[in-house]
Amino acid sequence: MNRDFTGLSICAVSAAERQAAQLLSEELRRRTGCEPPITQTPTQTCIRFSQSDAFADKDVFSIEQNGAQLTVSGRGIRAFIYGYSVFLRKTTYTDGRIVLVEPIAGTYTPDKRIRGHQLGYRSINNTYDAWSLDDYRRYYLDLMAFGCNTVEHIPGHVGGERDKLMRYAQDDLCVQAAAIADSFDLDVSLWYPNDDLSVEETTAIRKAFFKKCPRLNVVFPPGGDPGHYPADAFIERVKSISGALKSVHPQAEMWPSAQAPHSVPDWGDVFIREMEKLPSEIDGVITGPNRAFPLDVLRRKLPDKYPIRLYPDLTHNVRCEYPVHADRDDWHYALAATLSRESINPRPREYRLIHRLTRPYVIGSVSYSEGVNDDVNKMVWADMDFDPACDLRTTLLDYARVFIWQAPAEPIADAILALEANWVGDPAENPHIESTRMMLDTLVSDYPALSENWRFCQLLFRACCDAYVRRRRLFDLSLLREARTLLGQNETEQAQRILRREYPDDVCKLRERLFELAKKLFDLIGMQLDVSHFGAAQWERGATLETIDLPVTDKEFYLNRLAFMQTMDKSERPAFLRGLLDRSRAAGDGYYFSFAEHGLNVLGEEQTPDFYMDFQGDRPNVNDGSIPMAQLKLFDHFSFRCKLGGFASGKDYKLRVSYSSRKTAGVSAHRVTLNGHVIYCGAQYGGEKDAEFDRRYLAPNTETATYLLPGRYFENGCAELVIDEPTVGVMLGEFWFFPAEA
* Strand order, beta sheet including 3-4: 3-4, 97-100, 91-94
133-144 helix and 77-89 helix, angle to the nearest 10 degrees: 70
What CATH code is assigned to 3-108? 3.30.379.10
DSSP letter string over 661-714?
Answer: S---TT---EEEEETTEEEEEESSS-SB--HHHHHHHS-TTEEEEEEEE-GGGS
* The predicted structure's pLDDT at residue 698: 97
Sign of CA dihedral 725, 731, 736, 739: negative
DSSP one-letter code for 6: T
* The predicted structure's pLDDT at residue 610: 83
At 584, the amino acid letter reads S
Q: Kindly report the three-state secondary structure assignment for every residue of 470-521.
A: HHHHHHHHHHHHHHHHHHCCCCHHHHHHHHCCCCCHHHHHHHHHHHHHHHHH
| Structural contact between residues 365 and 309, judged by C-beta atoms closer than 8 angstroms | yes
pLDDT at 742 over 90: no
* The predicted structure's pLDDT at residue 594: 98
pTM for the complete prediction?
A: 0.97
Task: Tell me if residue 11 falls in helix, strand or coil.
Answer: strand
Which secondary-structure segment (H or E) carries 434?
A: helix 432-446
For residues 520 and 514, give the distance between their C-alpha atoms in angstroms, rounded to a whole number.
10
pLDDT at 682 over 90: yes
Q: Kindly report the three-state secondary structure assignment for every residue of 211-248.
A: HHCCCCCEEECCCCCCCCCCHHHHHHHHHHHHHHHHHH
For residues 501 and 483, give the distance between their C-alpha atoms in angstroms, rounded to a whole number.
11
Q: pLDDT exceeding 70 applies to what percent of the chain?
A: 99
Q: Kindly report the three-state secondary structure assignment for every residue of 141-192.
A: HHHHCCCCCEEEECCHHHCCCCCCCCCCCHHHHHHHHHHHHHHCCCEEEEEC
* The predicted structure's pLDDT at residue 295: 97
Sign of CA dihedral 398, 399, 401, 407: negative
| Structural contact between residues 179 and 141, judged by C-beta atoms closer than 8 angstroms | no
* The predicted structure's pLDDT at residue 158: 56
- pLDDT tens-digit map of 349-374: 999 999 999 999 999 999 999 999 99
DSSP letter string over 254-295?
Answer: E--B-BPPTT-TTHHHHHHHHHTT--TT---EEE-TTBSS-H
For residues 209 and 668, give the distance between their C-alpha atoms in angstroms, rounded to a whole number.
49
Pair type for strands 69-74 and 61-66:
antiparallel
CATH superfamily of 583-739: Galactose-binding domain-like (2.60.120.260)
For residues 137 and 155, give the distance between their C-alpha atoms in angstroms, rounded to a whole number.
18
pLDDT at 104 over 70: yes
Mean pLDDT within 652-664: 96
Outline which parts of the chain fall under CATH 3.20.20.60: 114-405
Which CATH architecture fits 114-405? Alpha-Beta Barrel (3.20)
For residues 153 and 121, give the distance between their C-alpha atoms in angstroms, rounded to a whole number.
7
As a whole number of Å, the end-to-end CA separation of the chain is: 74
- pLDDT tens-digit map of 544-584: 999 999 999 999 999 999 999 999 999 999 999 999 999 99
- pLDDT tens-digit map of 130-161: 999 999 999 999 999 999 999 999 998 654 57
Q: In a 10 Å sphere around its CB, with 0-12 CB exposed, 13-18 middle and 19+ buried, how is residue 649 labelled?
A: exposed
- pLDDT tens-digit map of 388-417: 999 999 999 999 999 999 999 999 999 999
Categorise residue 657: left if φ over 0, alpha if ψ from -120 to 50, beta otherwise: beta
* The predicted structure's pLDDT at residue 621: 96
Outline which parts of the chain fall under CATH 3.30.379.10: 3-108
* Strand order, beta sheet including 364-367: 253-254, 218-220, 187-191, 150-153, 114-118, 364-367, 308-310, 285-287
* The predicted structure's pLDDT at residue 164: 94
* The predicted structure's pLDDT at residue 56: 87
